[in-house]
Amino acid sequence: MSQPDVLHQAFELGFTYTRSTGPVVGRFLTELKQRNIVGIKGSDGRVIVPPMEYDPDTAEELSEFVDVGQEGEIVSYAWVKEPREAHPFDKPFAWAMILLDGADVPMIHCVAADSEDAVSTGARVKAVWAEETIGFITDIRCFERV
Amino acid sequence: MSEQTTENTDVITGIEAPIYLKYNFTAGAAPARFLTQVKEGVLTGQRCPQCAQVYVPPRGSCAACGVPTEEEVVLSDKATVQSFTIVSIPIPGNSIEPPFVVANLVPDGANISFIHLMSECDNADVHIGQRVQGVWKPQEEWGYSMDNIRYFKPLDEPDVPVEKIGKIPVEGWEG
Ligand SMILES: [Zn+2]
């Protein structure tokens, strides 16, 4: 029996989900559309960003929204040397945990920088907004050094 | 609600969050051999050296015995309906207009079924044990695909009793 050619074919499987945001994440995204970032106050007074629907300690429903700053501090980061197709940049960038001014919990987002040396723990960064905001996390295009 | 909480914008209540998984599907040696033969208009299976079952399309091994299958067996494009379903709801990405019949068909000479379409028949008349034959596309359209067979149409042959389905030799069924 002769060996045939290796046959292969591209195949894409798509799960075209739409997700309901609920009132709290919906409010967060609605505020993003207006270029504003909100958190929510937990039972112990912590400001949580992005806001959660329920208190992480007591599980009670949360509703006290708080505006937070558009600048903050890098708490930790990972430098992405080789971005993949789904990543927000086609050149190297950082994923970072960013503690926004007025928040008590860091939020993950991407940081644009020319090199890994330009990113460090404790560095101050500010939000860069997309040209058009639609009510999605990518309305904040990225953070960059202040 | 939206007027109370925000200005000049609607409240976001949902987002699109699709996930796309991109595969490069490689056929493997036995299915590649099968598809190469299908491109020539021939259906082939592989016989297990231990239990003698003939698999189509072949996967290169016998799932029951756990041994490699290497002996290639030429099959008929005549087959028997082992089971079927009438699809009444359109399937996203599928251009076939419902209602249509999808059937598990055992080709003569094989012991297991593959899935294909049935046509040139009244959907209500399709039944288990029915004899059918492949209707092929014009030869110039043949590729590495079971789509070389457009569909299977009924044959004017007696039904195969349930206990004989999957045991018809490649020579065919006399009734
Ligand atoms: Zn076997």
Inform me whether the C-beta atom of residue A135 falls under 8 Å from chain B C-beta atoms.
Answer: yes
**Which residues lie across from B21 on neighbouring strands?**
A13
Taking CB atoms and an 8 Å cutoff, what residues of chain B touch A8? 24-27
Q: Answer whether residue A4 shows pLDDT above 80.
A: no
Q: What is the pLDDT of residue B91?
A: 83
Inform me whether the C-beta atom of residue A17 falls under 8 Å from chain B C-beta atoms.
Answer: yes
Mean pLDDT estimate for chain A = 95
Count up the domains in chain A and report the number: 1
| Residue B174 backbone dihedrals phi, psi, to 5 degrees | -95, -15
Mean local confidence (pLDDT), A131-142: 97
Cβ distance A9 to B21 less than 8 Å, yes or no, reads no
Q: What is the pLDDT of residue B1?
A: 35
Please list all protein residues whose beta carbon sits less than 5 angstroms from ligand 1, which is an ion: B 48, 50-51, 62, 64-65
Taking CB atoms and an 8 Å cutoff, what residues of chain B touch A34? 6-9
- CA dihedral sign of residues B106, B110, B113, B117: negative
Cα separation, B155 vs B158, in Å, equals 9
Q: What is the pLDDT along chain B (175 residues), one digit of tens a residue?
A: 333 444 555 899 999 999 999 999 999 999 999 999 999 999 999 999 999 999 999 999 999 999 999 999 999 999 999 999 999 998 877 888 999 999 999 999 999 999 999 999 999 999 999 999 999 999 999 999 999 999 999 999 999 999 999 999 999 998 7
Say if A87 falls within a structural domain.
yes
Q: Distance, CA A117 to ligand 1 centroid (Å)?
A: 61
Tell me which residue range forms the domain holding A31. 22-145
What digits encode the pLDDT tens for the residues A98-133? 999 999 999 999 999 999 999 999 999 999 999 999
Inform me whether the C-beta atom of residue A12 falls under 8 Å from chain B C-beta atoms.
Answer: yes
This model of the complex carries an ipTM of 0.81
Residue B163 and residue B82 in contact, taking contact as beta carbons nearer than 8 Å: no
Say if A5 falls within a structural domain.
no
Q: What is the pLDDT of residue B2?
A: 37
Q: What is the pLDDT of residue B95?
A: 84
Say if A6 falls within a structural domain.
no
Taking CB atoms and an 8 Å cutoff, what residues of chain A touch B45? none
Q: What is the pLDDT of residue A6?
A: 81
Point out the residue among A5, A16, A20 whose CB comes nearest to the CB of B32.
A5
The tokens for B107 are 């080709």
Say if A55 falls within a structural domain.
yes
Taking CB atoms and an 8 Å cutoff, what residues of chain A touch B72? 1
Q: What is the pLDDT of residue B170?
A: 96
What digits encode the pLDDT tens for the residues A23-70? 999 999 999 999 999 999 999 999 999 999 999 999 999 999 999 999
Return the closest-CA partner of residue A30 out of A56, A60, A50. Answer: A50
Cα separation, A116 vs B27, in Å, equals 42
Percentage of chain A lying above the pLDDT 90 cut = 94
Residue B82 and residue B166 in contact, taking contact as beta carbons nearer than 8 Å: yes
Residue of B nearest to A13 (CA): B21
Inform me whether the C-beta atom of residue A6 falls under 8 Å from chain B C-beta atoms.
Answer: yes
